[in-house]
Amino acid sequence: MSEPGGAAGLPGSDHRRGGRVTLVGGGPGAVDLLTLRAWRALQSADVVVADRLGAVGVLDDLPATTDVVHVGKTSGNHPVPQEEINRILVARARAGAHVVRLKGGDPFLFGRGGEELIACREAGIEVEVVPGVTSAVSVPELAGIPVTHRGTAHGVHITSGHGGLDDAAVAVVRENTATLVILMGVSSLSTIAQQALRAGTDPATPVAIVENGSTPAQRVTRTRLDEAAAAAAAEGVAAPAVIVIGGVAADGLLGSVRDGRLAGAGV
């Protein structure tokens, strides 16, 4: 039997019990890559709990009555600890508010959305999850890099680069039949490249690093595995960035025309 577990109830399903939480994937950053459901949830929210990443531009357009709580890391400030975020979600919902937790990308991809979902559920709070456009796929995509492509990559492996790669990720990059996409990997790039090379990966394997994907500040650095760390240092590559390793990262795969569309276009 099916058991949706309250993870994805229908929009506006139940106001009678008062407070509720909607975990919203805000996509890679461009406001018009929010989903319609995300958009509607934000418009009807009493409280929006927001990170530094994702479609933060939408916060400017919220009704003046919406209470925006920033919990992301900003320069000079520590981020709010996860337990505290969970506590804010539960407390505000218990007080009767419709709380939208706006996250970058998809709430379940390294976004610790699962923990927030569980914390709310355990507190008996109604939770709805609105999946988002994940940065792992869309950021390369908008830079002209398809994460799967017939004849080049028959699969994609997506991982966090924090602290280097695990065995599965190393295997993917060595085999080079699937694309490896690394989120949060900029600071570990040197370690990652060394791990891959030590495992016997072709040093000429293409690497692309996309910073500020989907926004007007987007920048793509194309390099190869054995030169990636040096290239990133020379270019001053900084987080947030998505790293793509594999044949699809080669320049010119989809032709020579400039790629992408830029943020906020039209909306």
Partner 1 sequence: MPENPAAPGAPYPLGLRVTGRLVVVVGGGPVAARRARGLADAGARVRVVAPEVCEELAAAGEVEWIRREYRTGDLDEAWLAHTATGDPSVDRQVADDAEALRIFCVTAGDAEAATAWTPAVARVRLDSPGPPDPGDAGGRSGQTGEEIIVSVHAGGDPRRARAIRSEVQAQLESGTLPIRRVRPRPGADRTAQPATSSGPAVRDHGWVALVGGGPGDPGLISVRGRSLVARADVVVADRLGPRSLLDELAPDVQVVEVGKTAGNHPVPQDEINRILVQHAMAGRNVVRLKGGDPYVFGRGGEELAVCRDAGIETEVVPGVTSAVSVPAAVGIPVTHRGVARGFSVLTGHDALQDARRAEAGDAAAGHAVSVTGGSDHTLILLMGVSRLAETAAALTTPERPAGTPVAVVEDGYGPRRRVTVGTLADIAERAAAAGVRPPAVVVVGDVVRLAPAWRDHPAG
**Taking CB under 8 A as the criterion, which residues in 234-263 touch partner 1?**
253-255, 257-263
Among 65, 74, 167, 236, binds partner 1 (CB under 8 A): 167
**Which active-site residues does the annotation give?**
51, 73, 184
CB 263 within 8 A of CB 31: yes
Q: Is 25 in the site for partner 1 (CB under 8 A)?
A: yes
Distance CA 176, CA 154 (A): 10
Nearer to partner 1, 16 or 258 (CB): 258
Site residues (CB under 8 A) for partner 1, limited to 203-222: 216
From 90-98, 101-109, 190-198, 233-241, span contacting partner 1 (CB under 8 A)? 101-109
Q: Is 178 in the site for partner 1 (CB under 8 A)?
A: yes
From 135-143, 203-211, 222-230, 237-245, span contacting partner 1 (CB under 8 A)? 135-143
Distance CA 84, CA 49 (A): 12
3-state secondary structure of 45: coil
Among 49, 89, 119, 129, binds partner 1 (CB under 8 A): 129
CB 212 within 8 A of CB 135: no
Q: Is 109 in the site for partner 1 (CB under 8 A)?
A: yes
From 66-74, 84-92, 139-147, 236-244, span contacting partner 1 (CB under 8 A)? 139-147
- Token duo for residue 45: 């929210």
Site residues (CB under 8 A) for partner 1, limited to 34-93: 34-37, 39-40, 43, 63
Nearer to partner 1, 122 or 230 (CB): 122
Q: Is 22 in the site for partner 1 (CB under 8 A)?
A: no
Strands 219-224 and 206-211: antiparallel
CB 185 within 8 A of CB 135: no
Per residue, the 3-state secondary structure of 94-118, as one string, reads: HCCCEEEEEECECCCCCCCHHHHHH
Structure-token match 């989809």, residue found: 254
From 13-21, 95-103, 141-149, 239-247, span contacting partner 1 (CB under 8 A)? 141-149
3-state secondary structure of 218: coil
Among 47, 53, 158, 196, binds partner 1 (CB under 8 A): 158
CB 137 within 8 A of CB 238: no
